[in-house]
Each structure stands twice: as C-alpha cells, then as structure tokens.
Amino acid sequence: MQATVVATKLTDVWAGLSGKTCPFVAAPCLPSLRPDDACFSLPIADCITGFSSHPHALVLLMLGAADAQALAAAMFGLPREQLQAADVQDAGMELCNILSACLLQCLEDTSLTSLGLPEMLSQPQWQAFSHAGETRALFVSADQAQRLAVMLTDIHAQRDDSMTGDLSQPGGLSSEN
C-alpha cells in the first residue's frame, strides 16, 4: 500500500462530498475523542462461505461535530440549522462507506472481500474497536482545525471479552444487519 495514494483518494472523496478541502495524512495514532464527535464503522468480510457475517477487518471513522454538519449540509443541500440528527448520521455513514472502499487497497487480497453496511457507534464502542485490533492503516486530517480520522483495523484479535458485543450478532457489526 502506498499511503500517499490512499491519502489522496481520501482527500478527493471528502472534497467531492463536502465541497471543502481537507488533506489526509498517514498518522501514528488516533486523535482523542471529544464529547460531540460522531463515530461510525463498516465491517469488511471474507466471502469464502458465501455469507458476509464473517468480518475480518473494520473501518472506523471519527468526525467532529462541525465537520459532520458541514458534510450533511453539502450532501443534502440544506443550511446547517435545517439539518436533523438523522441527516448527519446518514451523511457520516455514507462517508464511512465510500472511505472504506478507498481503504481496501490496504488489504493484501481483496478478491474474496465484501464491504458490509455502515453504522453509527457510541464512543465507548468506537474506542473499544479502535484499541483492540491491529491497525492496518490510519489517516487523519492534516488541518488541525478539522476533526477527521479514518482507520482500518484487523479484527481477528477482537473476538475476546474486551469487546462490547459479538461482531456477528445484531448490533455487533455484522454486515447482514
């Protein structure tokens, strides 16, 4: 994987959806969560069995409140004051979906890989997932004023008691949910 190629793709996606520039850069660690940050995830599954309920990787997205609102306003063509919480959630899940496709390049073999469905996570869930697996790729906004981070993590190591839920159960990041 070439980090600069992936970072450029992430930057282009953000610009295309939000209408704003935000260069992404590879980072050694995640930014600290703030109380108003929105968190999302999307499972990446092996499709060897024909079922997509066997995730092996997870894409995690963190969006600051201002960035999430700017994204939703641009995507839905509404002023920020007319946005509903569901609009911001839908925009974040769509961004997570598209950024996940960009991060597939970070996996060795994607021939039997399937993207699941994005979902919003609570901050405790996001923190548990972001710290439990092996980080394969991590990109953050190069602009400190923007709060954007996207991470690809290997979740094979996450199937232990430290997780808040079973990944294959409803609400547990199965792509069949």
Q: What was the pLDDT predicted at 144?
A: 85
Write out the DSSP string of the chain: --HHHHHHHHHHHHHHHHSS---EEE-SSPPPP-TT-EEEEEEEEE-TTS-S--EEEEEEEEE-HHHHHHHHHHHHT--GGG--HHHHHHHHHHHHHHHHHHHGGGSS--TTEEE---EEE-HHHHHHHHHHSEEEEEEEESSTTS-EEEEEEE-GGG-STTSSS-TTSTTTT-TT-
Q: What was the pLDDT predicted at 169?
A: 40
Taking only Cα atoms into account, the Rg of the chain, rounded to an integer number of angstroms, comes to 15
- State how far Cα 133 lies from the chain centre: 14
Residue 49: Cβ-neighbour burial (10 angstroms; 0-12, 13-18, 19+): exposed
Q: What was the pLDDT predicted at 109?
A: 59
Q: What is the pTM of this model?
A: 0.82
Q: Which residues of the chain have a pLDDT value below 70?
A: 1, 46-55, 107-113, 156-177
85/82 Cα distance (integer angstroms): 10
Q: What was the pLDDT predicted at 92?
A: 96
6/56 Cα distance (integer angstroms): 20
Q: What was the pLDDT predicted at 101?
A: 86
